[in-house]
Amino acid sequence: QVQLVESGGGLVQAGGSLRLSCAASGRTVSSYTMGWFRQAPGKEREFVAGITSGGSTYYADSVKGRFTISRDNAKNTIYLQVNSLKPEDTAVFYCAASSWSHTRSVTNYHSWGQGTQVTVSS
């Protein structure tokens, strides 16, 4: 199993940027498809971005062009660069690991971090 710890969230004004980090231990992140999800109050957890073990990236339509997922194998860490933030991006952001490729389904991810809060003010 892989253990995941997110960091980098915070309070930012609309139009601002953050870089979220997800540090892994126990297994290498390059062994999995890694995903970022978010959950706003009263809403279901939703897929944001993913990166496969081969390095292929894919995104939810709502964040395409604004968010970028990347991976640093040497640091065993994945990142989510979030730009042009909007108030509707306010949520707890989670990273997760899956043995499936190119999956967007919450149920296909087996290991989760504790989340990091992103709050965007208007």
In this predicted model, what pLDDT tens digit does every residue of 39-54 receive, in sequence order?
999 999 999 999 999 9
Residue 107: phi and psi, rounded to 5, are: -70, -15
- Report pLDDT digits (tens) over 19-43: 999 999 999 999 999 999 999 999 9
Determine the pLDDT at residue 91. 98
- Report pLDDT digits (tens) over 72-119: 999 999 999 999 999 999 999 999 999 999 999 999 999 999 999 999
Residue 64 clears pLDDT 90, i.e. is over it: yes
Cα separation, 75 vs 81, in Å, equals: 16
DSSP 65: T
